[in-house]
Structure 1
Amino acid sequence: MGASSTATSRVPVWDNARFVAITFVVVGHGIQRFTYDSDAGLVAYLFIYAFHMPLFAIISGYFSKSGPPTARQMRRVITDILVPYVIFESIWTLLHYVVEGRVSVNPTTPSWTLWFLLALGIFRLILPYLALLRWPLLWAVIASIGVGYFSNVDSTFSLSRAIGILPFFVLGWKLREWHLVERWRVAEAPAVLVRMGALAVLAIWAAVLWAFIDVWRATDLRFWFFYDDSYDGLGEDQWWAGAVRLSLLALAVLLSACVFVLVPRRQLFFTPLGQATMYVYLLHSFVLYPIRESGIIGDEITGWPWLLVMTVISIGISFALASPWVRWAARPLVEPRPRWLLHREIDTTTGPMRLGPSRTDPTGSRRG
């Protein structure tokens, strides 16, 4: 999955982890309607949202480079992030007009899931500068906590969210720099006791959510997991609000580690699908949008059986969107190659630059 990997030397655990992470993303979005009237739905939602995007950001950071970007890498920011963002933001604008009769052309405010695409672009731009500093992870944490005190830093170009989850991306990058896999043999199957400990932590988190569900609903805990609003916007303008975010950062790292421990290490039937996470991420919202907005999930559909059904449907959506035929059909949208847009130049390190199919997606995953 890394930039130095090849199709024959891929470590299955990373593709498995990527597909597990993106499936949690789809499930979290799929069950969102159940959070209003169902305690079980809110528990499941909070359980997932505590770690699903942090886990995705950690994995993305693990396979990112911190050196000065080459001309080829800068072109990839344009072709793999900016152009797809413009394409999908335009589609969303048209969709809102057709379905809702609403005309809102504002490319500075990402539609639904597109915020993470811009966040990845921001991460790529600032990582080389963070890498020049001592204690980059500490500075990322300080930035994440500090940005919550500024109400004027909002969702414009995903800036508030990008800064909010920046520590997870930097943590992933540092884990690779620390050679964690080589030192602790993380890619190999962990001991049974370690897996049992991970399951216990996840079970305790679920139990805490269920035991205090009225508190979490009253305090709107789910909005804290978005890393989007300022503390004042979340209704907590006290000086110690940053400590809450720090606690949530630590919780997300712990839960992400537990999930990673439980990810299978061997090649499985869904392992190749881990190379298509960007397809799933960008396309799944178009599948869920009509389900969420059509009223199919109404007030009367609130029980846990319906929650389970929607969870299974969401998992199926993740599998379907990662399939080869969907990737073939959607490649012009997800992996556009705008040769007309880019000036042909020479990269002094690699020679003439050819704009062929990208071997890496915006998260740094090596495509097979």
Structure 2
Amino acid sequence: MGGASLSARPRVPLWDTTRFIAITLVVIGHAIQRLIADSDAALVVYLFIYAFHMPLFALISGYFSKPGPPTERRMQRVITDIVIPYLIFETVWTAVQAIVEGNWTLNPTRPSWTLWFLLALGIFRLVLPYLALVRWPLLWAVLISVGVGYFDNVGATFSLARALGILPFFVLGWKLHEWGLIDRWRVATPPTVLVRTAAVVALAAWLAVLIAFIDLWRAIELRYWFFYDESYTGLGVDDWWASLVRLALIGLAVLLSAAVLVLVPRRPVAITPLGQATMYVYLLHSFVLYPIRESGVIGGEDRSDWPWLVGMILFAIAVTTLLSTRPVRRVFRPIVEPRPRWLFRPDLDARTGPLLIQPSRTDPTGSRRDRLD
């Protein structure tokens, strides 16, 4: 009954298309990271992407989140959709690094590479019901984000600093849904020419600022500000106004995310169905890029010119597309969408419904998946 009503609910192509664009930007950013030390062009692309790609992901995840108290069914899904995949992939990463680097240190409290966002989604689910109880939850989320930067002891453990840093975007997404602003803006219909022109101008202006002042951005290591994982002192700023920089970057990320949403096609396009597999791409792409990054194939002054940058961007797009396909999802579904029935009490099915018989119809970001079988 629940599955039928869920499948009957019409999909809005905008969200699937945006998810695919966002995850493609994630893969591109990771793919070109080795080039930025010696290439201004690569650094421009990197900073352009990192200014908004994870905030956009968090915003979309928040839009599809529910703030109510956690039910048994929701708590089960936190375990099956977030905790268990995190433990599986963290263990795999530990094994990979032990083989390649000779460093065997299994520490689930310190997420490897991309796994921090999976933990952040879990933290967001825990925090949202409490924020929903207070007045001005978005304001509190912003204060938490800018305030956490003053504390050096909030760091990489469970990616807490990073999760709290991007919390405002998740809460903003939830509030946009609650306010009904997306529906009022008739999200399913194309924006006016004026609105789309303003979006293009905003993105072009950010690109122009990056190009014009790239030496400054490199000197002050602006890219680290976009990670939201360091205290202001760790970023080299001891002044009281450091929080204003983060506040400005939050505003920039919201502006750029809005510009992207305005420009995304409203009707289905070729990449729209691939937007259902963002968690597969997010969890698997690092295993494709890791050998390339660590082997020295890219990077260095002789491998940082335009052909290398363009080549890595095209390669990242190809990797994203491949990892979004149904065959990949079929093969890796047991570890991305595990269903360990043995872990839960047998009486839960009677109370919450047969949650674990089939993989979840939604991923941790709220994206609805089509069935594979």
TM-score, length basis structure 1: 0.97
Letter in 2 for 1:298: G
Task: Look up the match of 1:160.
Answer: 161
Task: Look up the match of 2:119.
Answer: 118
Task: Look up the match of 2:232.
Answer: 231
Secondary structure of 2:267's partner?
coil
Secondary structure of 1:340's partner?
helix
CA distance in 2, matches of 1:154, 1:366: 33
CA distance in 2, matches of 1:263, 1:353: 34
Deviations 1:267-323 (A, max 9, x none): 112111111000000000000101111111031111122111110100111000000
Task: Look up the match of 1:323.
Answer: 325
CA distance in 2, matches of 1:209, 1:5: 44
| Identity score, percent | 68
Letter in 2 for 1:197: A
User: 1:69: how far off?
Assistant: 1.4
CA distance in 1, matches of 2:60, 2:215: 33
Deviations 1:24-77 (A, max 9, x none): 111111111111010001000000000000000000000000011110110000
Higher helix share: 2
Secondary structure of 2:244's partner?
helix
Check 1:123–1:30 CA distance in 2 against 1; reply closer, same or farther (3 A cut).
same
Secondary structure of 1:6's partner?
helix
Check 1:7–1:298 CA distance in 2 against 1; reply closer, same or farther (3 A cut).
farther
CA distance in 1, matches of 2:263, 2:214: 26
User: 1:194: how far off?
Assistant: 1.2
Task: Look up the match of 2:259.
Answer: 258
Check 1:89–1:188 CA distance in 2 against 1; reply closer, same or farther (3 A cut).
same
User: 1:344: how far off?
Assistant: 2.4
| 1:30/1:288 contact within 8 Å kept | yes
CA distance in 1, matches of 2:353, 2:56: 36
Task: Look up the match of 1:206.
Answer: 207
User: 1:356: how far off?
Assistant: 2.4
| 1:151/1:233 contact within 8 Å kept | yes
CA distance in 2, matches of 1:231, 1:8: 45
User: 1:347: how far off?
Assistant: 7.1
Deviations 1:219-246 (A, max 9, x none): 0100000000000000001111000000
Letter in 1 for 2:94: T
Letter in 2 for 1:190: P
In structure 1, the gaps of 5 or more residues are none
CA distance in 2, matches of 1:143, 1:241: 14
Check 1:354–1:327 CA distance in 2 against 1; reply closer, same or farther (3 A cut).
closer
| 1:145/1:246 contact within 8 Å kept | yes
Task: Look up the match of 1:342.
Answer: 344
Equivalent residue runs for 1:143-182 within 5 Å: 143-182=144-183
Check 1:5–1:40 CA distance in 2 against 1; reply closer, same or farther (3 A cut).
farther
Deviations 1:93-133 (A, max 9, x none): 00001111111221100000000000000000110010001
CA distance in 2, matches of 1:127, 1:8: 25
Check 1:351–1:94 CA distance in 2 against 1; reply closer, same or farther (3 A cut).
closer
CA distance in 1, matches of 2:108, 2:238: 30
Check 1:209–1:281 CA distance in 2 against 1; reply closer, same or farther (3 A cut).
same
Task: Look up the match of 1:292.
Answer: 293
Task: Look up the match of 1:88.
Answer: 89
| 2:73/2:355 contact within 8 Å kept | yes
Task: Look up the match of 2:315.
Answer: 313
| 2:110/2:157 contact within 8 Å kept | yes
| 1:181/1:187 contact within 8 Å kept | no
Task: Look up the match of 2:248.
Answer: 247
CA distance in 1, matches of 2:284, 2:152: 31
